[in-house]
Amino acid sequence: MFVSNKRIFFGYREKQMAVCLKIVYTVFGYVYSAQGSARMWKSSAVAACGPTASRKEKPLLTRLIKEEERMKNRLPVGLENFEDLRKEKFYYVDKSGLIRDILQNYGKVNLITRPRRFGKSLNMSMLHHFFEIGTDASLFYGLEISGETELCENYMGKFPVISLSLKDACALNYKTAKDMLCALIHEEARRLLMRMEKFSPDPSEQNIVSRLTSLSMEESDIVMSLHWLSELLHRYYGRKVIILIDEYDVPLDKAYDSGFYQEMLSLIRGMFSRAFKTNEHLQLAVLTGCLRISKESIFTGLNNFMVRTITDVSFDEYFGFTGEEVKTMLAYYRLESHYDEIQKWYDGYLFGEKHVYCPWDVINYCSKLRTNPRVKPESFWANSSGNSIVRRLVDKATKQTKNEIERLIAGESVRKEIRQELTYSELEDSIDNLWSVLFTTGYLTLREPYDGRQCELVIPNQEVREIFVTQVREWFRDTFYQDRPGLREFCAAFRDAKPEVVEQMFSAYLMKTISIRDTFVRKEQKENFYHGVLLGLLGSEEEWLVTSNAESGEGYSDILVEIEEEGIGIVIEIKYAEKAAFEDACREAMSQIHKRQYAQKLREEGMETIWAYGIACFKKRCKVVCERIL
């Protein structure tokens, strides 16, 4: 913000300048001199001091606040390029200390595993721009790493860097996946060769260049590609090469799902062996991914191989946002009042000894809050990829596993022995291996720092809890939709006003599913679970119009059903029976139906017969009452 010598301050002339400066000083915390110069303000004081402005000052204050908001750095939603983020003035949570820690505590080859959307790609881009010859040093001005003068002098901009992200090297068949991997290598080879302005290859080198830049590489060329690139770069620059591989396990994950795992495993293993095991041109390699694939499977024979998983203290603060980083961000955008809900929804992960938030969630939610302060939290992380691993656990669940899932959803912990080093072919060999994958991929986290033995696993936050509940509902629907005669009988009991049959059959369904336990989970969340189960069962009748939380009368009913051909309407209100007080909960449900006139919409739609159901649920039992609304 600036005060000009022409007596104009955001369009206001001298008479208004005194008021502006007063507001700037008292509201924003400016320190200003008699000559009218202004320096940094305390932006967090805006909300607190705003109400103290007089009637005349408020329009100026409003304009100042809007101008301050306009000048704030943008939130980097989906941005993974470090150079773009820094040059285009996006908000950046400083993770540059990772560079120092890697250089001071590294092996020749370093694998860092974290769940998806925790900043792996942005950090790899940061490493790329720090090490690569010709880098723009101004990208790191003011960051933590800039204080490491000797380290920056020795390493910043001093190395050729090969940087590959394998997250797009995936397809439904091996040939297409191989071709996509070939295209990624081709693109990186062309980028690097274009930087070598004085490169004059001899005949043998020209043959390698031709094969590296081909879009139809043989498998043997892909295997040798990173080694060949390393050799060319080492010869040209006289410096050994740094190799960065982001999302190294994505091709294997997709190959496993699509049935060509062994072919892709052989290809990736061969490429990594030549790049990392027998490569005299290698200075340093860093790989990131979600899973730590067994060393015997893919990293066979690598010496000086360092692995940093989510249980390690090393690098624990560099992936994800710490609580202080989240508070600083919220203060910068004046969103401090939303801290509790952000903590509830997106905090809860324990990496090493650091409690961290999912950065993808925090950035996306803050971005929405800036345009709509009333927007509610949502599942950004869950919606960024499939959640099939949770469904696999539910599908394979034994009676004991169902009990454990219920405990997790209720906020309790389960004690498990975790295997962090698996092959994809072992993932579904046992329920125990699925627990390990749920942990390493971020669906579960540690309650306490890992001590090398069995650990207490919990669902980290509300967002992930909703993933579990959703997958349980879908499993329930898919399982019980197979029993068409039973479902028809259940729905007919609702239509024919047979509450005893509804009660008996709904209780039987609840006994077979995974339910909400009677712990500290809020009553509304428990009711939502039973609501979802019942909604899925009634939805099996294709000729019925079943609506959820429909506006009717003076509120929103849980479930409304219209059976148009028979002129029958059904209104359902579900209550959770605290301490098994079924009668009280049923009375409360029926009273709410009448008091708020939930049947009004059914009357308006021409339903001649309307049945009201009050359903009380507690654990795996229920009580059902019914009456006709006249």
* C-beta separation of 180 from 258 below 8 A: no
pLDDT band for position 157 (cuts 50, 70, 90): very high
Two tokens, residue 612: 């009201």
Beta-ladder partners of 574: 615
The CA R_g of the chain, rounded to the nearest whole Å, is 30
* C-beta separation of 245 from 285 below 8 A: yes
Q: What is the pLDDT of residue 63?
A: 64
Phi, psi of 348, deg, nearest 5: 105, -10
Whether 518 shows a pLDDT value over 60: the answer reads no
Residue 549 to residue 557: CA distance in whole angstroms? 5
Q: What is the pLDDT of residue 32?
A: 33
Whether 345 shows a pLDDT value over 70: the answer reads yes
Dihedral, 302, 305, 308, 309 alpha carbons, nearest 10: 20
By percentage, how much of the chain surpasses pLDDT 90? Answer: 61
Report the relative pairing of strands 292-293 and 421-422 from DSSP bridges.
Answer: parallel
Q: Is the dihedral of CA 282, 286, 289, 293 positive or negative?
A: positive
Q: Name the average pLDDT for the chain.
A: 86
User: For the residues 523-531, what does the mean pLDDT come to?
Assistant: 79
Two tokens, residue 387: 């959640």
pLDDT band for position 230 (cuts 50, 70, 90): very high
Q: What is the pLDDT of residue 70?
A: 65
Q: What is the pLDDT of residue 65?
A: 60
Sequence ranges of the domains in the chain: 14-71, 82-308, 321-372, 386-467, 481-629
Of the given ranges (151-160, 290-299, 416-425, 561-570), which has the lowest mean pLDDT?
A: 290-299
* C-beta separation of 573 from 598 below 8 A: yes
Q: What is the pLDDT of residue 7?
A: 36
Whether 30 shows a pLDDT value over 60: the answer reads no
Helix axes 261-272, 250-258, angle to 10 degrees: 160
Whether 402 shows a pLDDT value over 90: the answer reads no
Residue 542 to residue 482: CA distance in whole angstroms? 15
Length of the chain equals: 630
Whether 5 shows a pLDDT value over 70: the answer reads no
- What CATH fold (topology level) applies to the domain 481-629? tt1808, chain A (3.90.1570)
Whether 584 shows a pLDDT value over 70: the answer reads yes
Helix axes 462-480, 523-538, angle to 10 degrees: 30
For 386-393, the CB contacts below 8 A with 24+ separation are 387/443, 387/467, 387/470, 387/471, 389/434, 389/437, 389/438, 389/441, 389/443, 390/438, 390/443, 390/467, 390/468, 390/471, 391/471, 391/474, 391/475, 392/428, 392/434, 393/431, 393/434, 393/435, 393/438
Tell me the DSSP string of 81-122. Answer: -HHHHHHTTB-----THHHHHHHHS--SEEEEE--TTSSHHH
Picking from 161, 165, 180, 187, the residue whose alpha carbon sits closest to that of residue 116 is: 165
User: For the residues 290-297, what does the mean pLDDT come to?
Assistant: 75
Looking at this protein, which amino acid is placed at residue 150? Answer: E
By percentage, how much of the chain surpasses pLDDT 70? Answer: 87
Tell me the DSSP string of 446-466. Answer: ESS---SS-EEEE--SHHHHH
Number of H helices, E strands in the chain: 25, 18
Looking at this protein, which amino acid is placed at residue 563? Answer: I
- For the stretch 351-361, pLDDT in tens is 999 999 999 99
Instruction: State the CATH class of domain 82-308.
Output: alpha beta
Q: What is the pLDDT of residue 42?
A: 37
Helix axes 219-237, 203-212, angle to 10 degrees: 130
From the candidate CATH numbers 1.20.120, 2.40.128, 1.10.700, 1.10.10, the one assigned to the domain spanning 386-467: 1.10.10
Which is more confidently placed, 385 or 119? 119
Whether 521 shows a pLDDT value over 90: the answer reads no
User: For the residues 498-503, what does the mean pLDDT come to?
Assistant: 96
Two tokens, residue 470: 């959703």
Q: What does DSSP assign to residue 538?
A: H
User: For the residues 223-249, what does the mean pLDDT come to?
Assistant: 96
Of 289-303, 436-450, 507-521, which has the strongest mean pLDDT?
Answer: 436-450
Whether 154 shows a pLDDT value over 80: the answer reads yes
Number of neighbouring beta carbons within 10 Å of residue 339 = 15
Whether 48 shows a pLDDT value over 80: the answer reads no
Of 45-49, 480-484, 542-546, which has the strongest mean pLDDT?
Answer: 542-546
* C-beta separation of 612 from 629 below 8 A: yes
Looking at this protein, which amino acid is placed at residue 594? Answer: H
